[in-house]
Chain A
Amino acid sequence: MPGKHLSRWTLAWFGSALLALLAACGLGLLGVAGPGAWTGGNGLALVHVFALGWLCQVMMGALVQFVPVLAARPLALPMLALPALLVSSAGTVALALGFLVLEGREALQPLFLAAPAAIGLGFAMVAAMVGATLSSRDSLRLAEVRMVLLALLALAGLWLSGAMMVLTLSGRDPAVDLSQALPLHMLLGIGGWLSLAAFGVSYKLFAMFLIAPDQGGRLRGAVFLAAALLVAVLLAAFLMVLAGRPAEGATTVALGLIPVLILLYLAEIARIWRSRRRVAPEVNMLWSRAALAFLGFAMALSVPGWLLGGPWAEAAVFAALVGWLSTLTLAQLVKIVGFLTWIQVFAPRIGRQPVPMVQKLIDAKAATLCLALWSAGTLAGCLALLAASPAGFRLAAALLSLAALGIVRELIAVRHLSHLAAEERPAPLPPLILPLLQPR
């Protein structure tokens, strides 16, 4: 059955996510939000275009593509991939516009209230595909598989906490204490859903791209245990908030678990890196190291972030979302899109005519430049937030926008096989985004 291990809509998920990334960078450049200005409607809209539109969507697209690799079986319920993309995109746009209610645009209230329903439906469809694919006795033995399932649990908590806050902000019952719910919402999203999903997928990808032995072992079991504890504490804390009880104690415990979790994860990634057989890693792996460094940086900032709040908390969240999660995703995206494009175009030609090496589809120099620019922009953004400098933050947003445009340009070039010599480039070219597989 041709193509049963490729999801047809992977590139559509990536394309939609990249549009949101460009939109968020553009809004940052326009000064819609910045140091100390994240809790108003404009600031929340920007944050959600970035976190939900870009990071959640790219992660969901990546999971739909990669859980079959994790579980060594075909994707379950593949017919849900497109509807999930459509409703979660619509929900994201509705939520971003809905936040403008807080800026006095009352007419947008219905959109604000409808957004959680659409987003929840999209999340549920992705969770059904991923959960059904991974839930088998063989797969569940793997700590990385259980970690992705844990990420889905955190996703449910993320959605529930977000939906409750939307109700509260629109003045409806049941109202929650926002000052207690907000840190939990962020921790469920960043530390629970996005980071745990990234952990689970990264083991397989890193071992593959570094040609390193892929064995779980005790360290990975320990990462899973710490992650399970974190998600359990976060969900319990949110239930306490729902019950109207104080949850600072539980939130502090969760924040104490995060450094343990991150250090265990980094220790295992360091082990994979040292045991690699590929002497000179490619650009995606070299720049994944920058992402891992930002993970450590975010962890270091999280302590003053919780104790002092304000600029420290803003910088910690920025380092996690823009530094750790986005740098990792952008670096791997170049490689993954190159790989999928190569499979799509050249797999049918192997053994019948010469095929180019997969590396030739990518301009490593251009990718390096963009990823370096992205990392510089992230660092500048963290410093600008710490210094509470709106001008510095605009400069950082300019660097990030340039880098994002450069990556998108490179991805389009990869899809068009632009880096191949004309005689190596077959006609017709694959469509840019839709659908991934053509009948042949």
Chain B
Amino acid sequence: MTQPLEFDVRPIMQSGDDPFGAIMAAVDALSPGQALRLLAPFRPMPLFTVMANRGFGFSDRQRADGVWEVLFTPVADAPDAAGMAPGSTPTAGFWPDAVCELDLTGLMPPEPMVRILEEITRLAPGEVLFALLDREPMFLFPELAHRGHEWAGNFASSGQAYRLLVRAGAQDD
């Protein structure tokens, strides 16, 4: 895969300019599938939403020297880079904490799906539930999408549990 394009905003900010235009120009210059590695003196929160809307997921870390390093990855390549299952909402990192946690391990399909759909129906729009499952709930995803709920999920590093966040949509038709 193509190496990420590295873009350091610190020189621009030191000169007193707004780096936004330069960042967007860098994004436009990316080749298809290429990621962008951004170096900034602070965690560039406002940028996350902008980039999410342009189809990028992100992962960030603060280096020992205090510099923030953010990797924006095109969502089509997200399973490898950001570790989320295909179809996950890229902006799940901004969701509020889950108001409800369900341990659905040890249940035979479709029971986990029933529990999640029953629970999400009770939540207010925007509220989030977290569920732990034995496997990826393939048949749940189309149902969530159809009802206007968003989700993001992936396997735990052990591969033995699936972690799922679901955010209740505006209305459950």
CA distance A277 to B106 in the complex (A): 7
Residues of B within 8 A of A1 (CB): 142, 145
Residues of B within 8 A of A343 (CB): 110, 139
Q: Which residues from 2 to 17 on chain A have a C-beta closer than 8 Å to any C-beta of chain B?
A: 2-6
Are A348 and B142 in touch, CB under 8 angstroms?
no
Chain A residue nearest to B120 in the complex (CB)? A351
Distance in Å from the Cβ of A92 to the closest Cβ of chain B? Answer: 30
| B80 CB–A CB distance under 8 Å | yes
Q: Which residues from 100 to 130 on chain B have a C-beta closer than 8 Å to any C-beta of chain A?
A: 106-110, 113-114, 117-118, 120-121
A-B contacts, 11 listed (Cβ < 8 Å): A1-B145, A2-B142, A3-B142, A73-B86, A138-B80, A277-B106, A339-B110, A343-B110, A347-B113, A350-B118, A355-B114
CA distance A380 to B101 in the complex (A): 54
Give the residue of A4, A137, A350, A358 whose beta carbon is less than 8 angstroms from that of B80. Answer: A137
CA distance A68 to B86 in the complex (A): 12
Distance in Å from the Cβ of B132 to the closest Cβ of chain A? Answer: 14
Q: Given A72-B136, A208-B108, A208-B135, do A351 and B145 touch, yes or no (CB 8 Å)?
A: no
Residues of A within 8 A of B107 (CB): 211
| B79 CB–A CB distance under 8 Å | yes
Are A211 and B108 in touch, CB under 8 angstroms?
yes
Are A351 and B79 in touch, CB under 8 angstroms?
no
Are A215 and B160 in touch, CB under 8 angstroms?
yes
| A106 CB–B CB distance under 8 Å | no
| B7 CB–A CB distance under 8 Å | no
Q: Which residues from 206 to 238 on chain A have a C-beta closer than 8 Å to any C-beta of chain B?
A: 208-209, 211, 213-215
Number of A-B contacts (CB under 8 A): 67
Residues of A within 8 A of B145 (CB): 1-2
Are A348 and B79 in touch, CB under 8 angstroms?
no
Are A6 and B139 in touch, CB under 8 angstroms?
yes
Residues of B within 8 A of A69 (CB): 138
Are B108 and A278 in touch, CB under 8 angstroms?
yes
Chain B residue nearest to A350 in the complex (CB)? B117
Are B159 and A350 in touch, CB under 8 angstroms?
no
CA distance A348 to B114 in the complex (A): 10
Residues of A within 8 A of B79 (CB): 138
Residues of B within 8 A of A342 (CB): 110
Chain A positions 127 through 162: 1 when the CB is less than 8 Å from some CB of chain B, otherwise 0: 000000000011000000000000000000000000
Give the residue of B134, B142, B146 whose beta carbon is less than 8 angstroms from that of A5. Answer: B142
| A352 CB–B CB distance under 8 Å | yes
Interface size on A, residues (CB 8 A): 31
Query: Nearest 4 A-B pairs (CB), nearest first?
Result: A351-B121, A350-B117, A351-B117, A5-B138
Residues of B within 8 A of A137 (CB): 80
Are B146 and A2 in touch, CB under 8 angstroms?
yes
Give the residue of A68, A72, A211, A358 whose beta carbon is less than 8 angstroms from that of B110. Answer: A358
Chain B residue nearest to A3 in the complex (CB)? B142
Distance in Å from the Cβ of B143 to the closest Cβ of chain A? Answer: 5
CA distance A311 to B159 in the complex (A): 47
Are B138 and A68 in touch, CB under 8 angstroms?
yes
CA distance A5 to B85 in the complex (A): 14
Are A208 and B109 in touch, CB under 8 angstroms?
yes
CA distance A69 to B138 in the complex (A): 7
Give the residue of B106, B114, B136 whose beta carbon is less than 8 angstroms from that of A350. Answer: B114
Residues of A within 8 A of B138 (CB): 5, 68-69, 72
CA distance A351 to B168 in the complex (A): 13
Residues of A within 8 A of B121 (CB): 351-352
Chain B positions 134 through 157: 1 when the CB is less than 8 Å from some CB of chain A, otherwise 0: 111011011101100000000000
Residues of A within 8 A of B141 (CB): 4-5
Give the residue of A72, A209, A211, A351 whose beta carbon is less than 8 angstroms from that of B106. Answer: A211
Are B108 and A209 in touch, CB under 8 angstroms?
yes
CA distance A38 to B146 in the complex (A): 53
Residues of A within 8 A of B85 (CB): 72
Distance in Å from the Cβ of B160 to the closest Cβ of chain A? Answer: 6
Residues of A within 8 A of B108 (CB): 208-209, 211, 278
CA distance A4 to B140 in the complex (A): 11
Chain B positions 73 through 96: 1 when the CB is less than 8 Å from some CB of chain A, otherwise 0: 000000110000110000000000
Distance in Å from the Cβ of B126 to the closest Cβ of chain A? Answer: 18
Given A1-B145, A138-B80, A347-B117, 19 further pairs, Cβ under 8 A: A2-B142, A2-B143, A4-B142, A5-B138, A5-B141, A5-B142, A6-B139, A72-B85, A72-B86, A73-B86, A208-B109, A211-B106, A213-B160, A214-B134, A214-B160, A215-B160, A339-B110, A347-B139, A351-B120
Chain B residue nearest to A352 in the complex (CB)? B121
Residues of B within 8 A of A352 (CB): 121
Residues of B within 8 A of A6 (CB): 139, 142
Chain B residue nearest to A344 in the complex (CB)? B139
| B6 CB–A CB distance under 8 Å | no
CA distance A211 to B108 in the complex (A): 7
